[in-house]
Amino acid sequence: MEADQHEEHSRRYPIPRVKPDRSGRIAAETLNFFAIHPGPHTAREVLKDPAVGSRPLADRGEKGIRMNLLHYARQGLLSRERTGREYRYELTKSGGKRLIYLWDRLGLTDPSRATTLEAREEMKRRLMIVDSLLEER
C-alpha cells in the first residue's frame, strides 16, 4: 500500500537537476558575449556562440538560454526589446559593471595569471573591453 502511495507522488517526467553556478562564471560568459558583439542579439544567436553554447545551461537548449537572458534582463544587466516573435537583448551599463566585477572576482583580469601566449592575448582582449566599458560611463 505504501509503495502505491509513493508512486502517486513521484513525478511522471522528472525535472533534471542542474547545480546553480555560484561562482558567476556562466554570467560572465554570457555578458562577455554581449560585450564582444555589441548590439541586440536573440537567444538563438547567443546559443550559437561556442563559448556560451558549451556550458551546462546550453544542455537545456534554447529555453534554458532564454530563461537565463530573461533573468539577467530583470536584474537590469541586459535590456530587452521585443521584435516580432523574439526578444532581443543588449548589454546595459550596469551589465558592463557586473562583467568587470565578475572578471575581477574570477581573477580573469589579473595579468600575472596569464602564463601562455594565448592567455596573454585573451587577457589583453579582456582589458580592452574593460577600457571600452569604462569609457562609456
**Residue 69 DSSP code:** H
Q: Are 100 and 94 in contact (CB under 8 A)?
A: no
Domain layout of the chain by residue ranges: 20-135
**pTM of the prediction?**
0.76
Q: Are 29 and 55 in contact (CB under 8 A)?
A: yes
Rounded-to-integer distance, Cα 37 and Cα 105, Å = 23
Output the tens digit of pLDDT for each of the chain's 137 residues: 455 555 556 667 666 666 667 778 888 888 888 998 888 999 888 888 877 765 666 566 778 888 889 999 999 999 999 999 999 999 999 999 999 999 888 888 888 888 888 888 888 888 888 888 888 75
* Partners of 87 in beta bridges: 82
CATH 1.10.10.10 is right for the domain spanning 20-135: yes
